[in-house]
Structure 1
Amino acid sequence: MPKAKQKRRHTFNYSVNRKKLKRKAKKKSAPRIACNEIRNAWDDTKSVAGNLADMGLAVDPNKTLPIHGNMVTSTKVEQSHIVCKPYVVEGLQALASLPSKKTGMGISSDMIQYVRHMVENYGEDYKAMARDEKNYYQDTPKQIQHKVNLYKHHHAKEYKALTSPQKEP
């Protein structure tokens, strides 16, 4: 006959600082603000609306910029709040005015070598490229054409140099 399960007695752990644990859990549960300018100017003692108003940002764009015309217009427009932290808006405008990096798929170095070899040897004859022995993956002429077009898009100057007729002295 098995023994009945005994309840384990919960004892207080004196080595754990409960206040520090609570503070750590509160900090961990708070959402992470991705924007550096807003994160640096954020005041944890204020509400979201209060923080954004101090920075000169809108909580609800529909209240800030009411729609006029055929649609229903809201007569209650948010009062203009004194901007205490104008450097946030200036920082955001400066960040927005920078040219964006084109994030997209690049081309691997193997594919660059492959396309260069094909274009140097065959020019734009995709059927001949498909029969080449370096065509390890047995790409069809259409697939090779797609790869060449991708190379043209990413490395336009290099492609132009490959295809331009070279003068021999």
Structure 2
Amino acid sequence: MGKVRKTRKNTFNYSVNRKKLKHKARKKAAPRIACDEIRNAWNHSKSVAGNMAEMGLAADPNKALPIRPRTVIGEQSRVRKPYVLEELKAAASLPSKRTMGISNDMILYVRHMVENYGEDHKAMARDEQNYYQDTPKQILRKIKLYKHHHPQEYEALLASRTKQ
């Protein structure tokens, strides 16, 4: 015959403070700071408000921009990490990678419509190349987007249309 396995019962450990464990786990699993400048200057031993005040940022926008005008004395003297503000300003002044561009297909589509119809959006809606059956308002929106991204080309298209 085989041996009988002895299993030990799971017993509750009374010496462990579960509330503290949960608090530690929650602190460890804090969200990752996406901004490099702020993450590098962050001090984990301080509170959010303390960290933000050191960097010269506002943790609470309601306190930063009060409804009633108040005089804040010594606000700039608490900023111990001004380089964070400078880095954020430099990063904000760089051109964004997420600027919405226009696809080549839409450029060709808008050029065709403007070359053939000029400003007549109702005629554009009835054109054969309007594959997606855009309404005149949708076509107008696409033309405005093209005009925003390529203003010189749009003016040249209109000028060539009026010469014909």
What TM-score bracket applies, with the shorter chain setting the length? 0.5 to 0.7
The answer (yes or no) to whether the contact 2:56–2:76 under 8 Å persists in 1 is no
Shift of 1:59: 4.5
Calculate percent identity across the aligned residue pairs. Answer: 61
How far residue 81 of structure 1 moved from its aligned partner, in angstroms, is: 5.7
- The corresponding residue for 1:158 is 153
Structure 1 spans left out of the alignment, 5+ residues: 1-6, 11-21
Letter in structure 1 aligned against 2:133? Q
Check conservation: 1:52, 1:59, Cα contact below 8 A: yes
| Counterpart residue number, 1:111 | 106
Deviation at 1:126, TM superposition (A): 3.2
Which of 136-145 and 37-46 deviates more? Answer: 136-145
Number of corresponding residues: 144
Distance (Å, rounded) in 2 between the aligned partners of 1:36 and 1:143: 40
Larger fraction in helix: 2
Deviation at 1:78, TM superposition (A): 7.8
Aligned partner of 1:3 in structure 2 is none
Describe the SS at the equivalent of 2:160: coil
Poorly superposed stretches of 4+, deviation over 6 Å: 63-66, 76-80
Hey, what does 2:117 align to over in structure 1?
122
Q: Please give the alpha-carbon distance, in whole angstroms, between the structure 2 residues aligned to 1:53 and 1:100.
A: 28
Distance 1:129 1:64 in 2: 49
Q: Counterparts of 1:1-169 in structure 2 under 5 Å?
A: 29-59=29-59, 62=63, 67-68=68-69, 82-96=78-92, 98=93, 101=96, 105-165=100-160
Shift of 1:83: 4.0
Deviation per CA, 1:123-169: give whole Å up to 9, x if none. 23334333332222333444433432332233211111212138x9x
Distance (Å, rounded) in 1 between the aligned partners of 2:150 and 2:33 = 37
Deviations 1:77-133 (A, max 9, x none): 78876543232233234445x166496654332222111112122323334333332
**Structure 2 gaps, min length 5:** 1-6, 11-21
Superposition TM-score, scaled by structure 1 size: 0.57
- TM-score, normalising length: structure 2: 0.59
Alignment RMSD (CA, Å): 4.3
Q: CA deviation at 1:40?
A: 0.3
Q: Quick one: which amino acid aligns to residue 144 of structure 1?
A: I
